[in-house]
Chains A and B, each alone.
Chain A
Amino acid sequence: MIAALKDFADRFLGRGDATITVPSFDGALKPNQLLETAETVGQFDAPEDLATDGKALYIADGAAILRLDADTATEVRRFDRVITALCCLPDGGMAVALDGREVQLLATPSASSVAATFSDSSISAINALAPGPRGTVIATDGSTQRLYRQWVYDLMERGRTGRVLSLDIASGSVRTLASGLQYAFGACTAGDALLVSESWRHRVIAIAADGSRRTILDNLPVYPSRMSPASSGGFWLTAFAARTQLVEFVLRENAYRRRMMSEIDPAYWIAPKLKSGQSFLEPMQGAHIKTMGVVKPWAPPRSYGLVIRLDATGVPLFALHSRVDGVNHGIVAAVEMDGALFALAKGPGRLLRAPLAMIDQELRA
């Protein structure tokens, strides 16, 4: 009863859980145009994830794995389902998530036979893979209720069924490291712990070997996604969209959200998107987005591009942005190779390359 009264009061006064606010992009997240000015290495139909073994860059594009050789993408393997996650393993093998429901291990990226398969009826949205400790592969399962491609449904339903799984290569067993997460999307080992992005909670958590959780980075102004290690220590954290007060408002208006989901095409929902500005039917394109027909870079973003560089303790050092007036939005993966950062902008289907020296120079300027 008291909780109900508090909830009513909070909604009336705009306080507590009903506060509709978002943090600003400041400090290390101060906006720039580094992602927008990055070189476009290639354009793909349905790019999803990146992986590197330190020698070559692999791209998951639809149902195929492509290898980037001197700016040319060559197909090395094709599957019967779309790939939703990809990672290179220390032994030269590769782990591939298919349709978010199954993980296959390959001895080499081009191997025709499958070394091991992990599937379970409860797995539905494997969206990131990473090499784990002691011969394991870490997988994040965004939701047990929705498929990977239905991530926006999970957000609108305020899903909290995300899990982190440990796949034991030797035994073929699947162990749940964490559950009840609000869309787990991306993991990376950090010493004995495991860093996991929790997108709908806008945070990165560390899961210790004993299963205890600790928040590393909280209250981000974006929806964080996949992570990868940086060569000089620390991590690259991607974010596929930025938060807005409008979406936060919709997320607390249950009745409105239910009607929107039942009556409106998902393409036009008031929800974060991987790309925007494609149709006049999209919401959020009034004067708060454009002035004299020109998109304001600081406008509330329906889609956004961001890669954050974290230090080893998870403190942001700097960020690369593609702002509202840009196109390189929906960054879902970023890996470092050969002194350059490769980022995958899923919105326009682009693979971007930004040399680390250039990033350093730009940030110093």
Chain B
Amino acid sequence: MSDIILALRNATKLYAGVAAIESVDFELRRGEIHALVGENGAGKSTLTKVMAGVVTLTSGTMQINGVDAAPRTPLEARHLGIAMVFQENSLVPTMTVAQNLFLGQERFYNRLRGIYIAAQQFLQSLNFDVTPTATVGMLGAAKKQMVEIARAVLHQAKVIIFDEPTATLTPEEKKYFFDLVRDLKRRGVSIVFISHALEEALILADRITVLRDGKHVVTDDAVNFDRARIVQAMVGRDLSNTLYGRRKTTVRPAGARVLTVQNLKMAPMVKNNSLSVFAGQITGVFGLVGAGRTETFKVVAGVLKRDFFHGGEVILHDKPVRYRVPAPAVRAGIAYVTEDRKVEGFFETMSVARNIYLGLLAKVPGGRFLLSGREADRVGGSWVDKLKVRTTGNDMKVVELSGGNQQKVVIAKSLVQEPDLIIFDEPTRGVDVGAIVEIHELIQQLADQGKAVVVISSYLPEIMALSDRILVSRQGKVVEEFSALEATEEKIMYAAVH
């Protein structure tokens, strides 16, 4: 029997013509722990989703035990012996552990007592200290992981894929989780795990594969890696020919302090976070997924609430503020341009002009009783011209626009409020290259006009191209600050993962 249990050859997955992974070769050996690392958007999740049957390849092949296989659904993948444990686990919180374990295997008549006994015996055989009658919603993160793993083993998975398994675990739980993974390896199960914590990859994995921009960079034994080599492989792109290749030679000086966040807490994502934002500057905020960047600024903008007890302080223009909903924050001059434009950014079946006009109405205390279609057209039209939104007319629906133009509408909706502080969360996610340039120019103009601008991005080159100062967030708080002149991708990434 071949040593390779799962292999992907020349794997490519396109989303609307954009390659999430491109010509990736990947091999998983029998009984090995294989770590997949890379920046956000490097293609790790897509690659594992292909293995687990969540998405199918656009081109390329996948082999299991040397035989071509292309699971089209997670159920098909499960029948092939592949199970995936998602970061946001897929258990039903209102059901018991035993019910979750046997979910999908119900018969016409289910004897609950029998399920509990079987679950108890099975969990004991795995040495998992989980009560089968406990409701899953009441369990801690580590116990939920155990149930997920147990379910994978119960389905006789030979390959288990973990997506960020330790993100929600405490240090003690992590240690326990590592022991579990090693135990699975002893049982001959092959493990693929995605992690942003490089030390975990170095400690746990037998081999490490680094992906960058959807392409395979390197696969090697973990002993041949150190942190520096992984970081270099993760970020070492050729910057000379890209949109973001220009290095900053000057930065804007800081103006007056507009925003101060002091010891902000929003469990479990934001932990004692403190930072300042200054007028006339672009403050870039970098961090890996789960670093608490978005949540911090959502609290500032009143989209999320900080902790009820001792949640810290947000000071805007030297005055403490506490927004429970976004409207007062908008009136105070804070604009938050969401990272999820389709859900939070616009009303997709409304026209471009009406969407922009809504932004203006949000600033009027109590709203307006009478709305003016003419004013909506005038306001919307002027912003469509200003931001060069490519539409066939003001009455064109937002859903009909391209991603870049949709993003411009979301930005216009915020800028029409004439804010002092503008927070861009992943401003160019899912945006075409041409629109990226225009959005970047717009952000630069806002800073030149003396506005305080925050750019949250998981894409390092974007942070480096835009920012005058760069804050690096890790595990819920800002841990490092760089001037754009001194920052390098390696330094930033080191601070983000160290």
Contacts and interface: CB of A to CB of B under 8 A. Distances in A.
Interface of A: 12-16, 19-24, 26-28, 30, 215, 218-219, 245, 315-317, 364-365
B109 interface: no
Interface residues of B, number: 28
8 contacts: A13-B308, A14-B309, A19-B312, A21-B262, A23-B260, A28-B254, A218-B318, A315-B254
Contact of B262 (A13, A24, A30): A24
Q: Is the interface of A mostly helix, strand, loop or mixed?
A: loop
Contacts of B445: none
A23 B318 CA distance: 11
Interface in B121-168: none
A203 to B, nearest CB: 9
B318 A14 contact: no
Interface in B257-289: 257, 260, 262-263, 274-276, 278
A245 B274 CA distance: 12
Leading 8 A-B pairs by shortest Cβ distance: A14-B310, A21-B262, A24-B274, A21-B263, A218-B318, A21-B313, A19-B313, A26-B276
Interface in B240-262: 253-257, 260, 262
Contacts of B469: 27
A195 to B, nearest CB: 16
Nearest to A24: B274
Contacts of A365: 486
Contacts of A317: 253
Given A21-B274, A30-B481, 11 more contacts: A13-B310, A16-B320, A21-B263, A21-B312, A21-B313, A22-B263, A22-B274, A24-B274, A27-B276, A219-B260, A364-B485
A316 B263 CA distance: 22
A21 B264 CA distance: 9
Residue among B255, B278, B310, B322 having the largest count of chain A Cβ atoms under 10 Å? B310
B310 A22 contact: no
B478 A27 contact: no
Nearest to A28: B254
A21 B260 CA distance: 11
Interface in B281-326: 308-313, 315, 318, 320, 322
Contact of B274 (A16, A23, A215): A23
Interface in B339-391: none
Nearest to B278: A27
Contacts of A218: 318
B421 to A, nearest CB: 15
Contacts of A16: 320
A310 to B, nearest CB: 12
Contact of B322 (A15, A22, A30, A315): A15
B311 A14 contact: yes
A12 B310 CA distance: 9
A23 B275 CA distance: 7
Contact of A315 (B256, B310, B320): B256
A26 B263 contact: no
B477 to A, nearest CB: 10
Contacts of A19: 262, 310, 312-313, 320
A24 B312 contact: no
A365 B255 CA distance: 22
B308 A26 contact: no
Contacts of B310: 13-14, 19-20
Contacts of B313: 19, 21
A26 B313 CA distance: 16
A24 B254 contact: no
Nearest to B264: A21
Contacts of B478: 24, 26
Nearest to A317: B253
Contacts of A316: 254
Contacts of A13: 308-310
Contacts of A364: 485
Contacts of A30: 481
Interface string B320-342: 10100000000000000000000
A364 B483 CA distance: 10
A198 to B, nearest CB: 14
A24 B276 contact: yes
A317 B253 CA distance: 8
A23 B481 contact: no
Contacts of B481: 26-27, 30
A316 B253 CA distance: 10
Contacts of B278: 27
A265 B303 CA distance: 48
Contacts of A28: 254
B315 A219 contact: yes
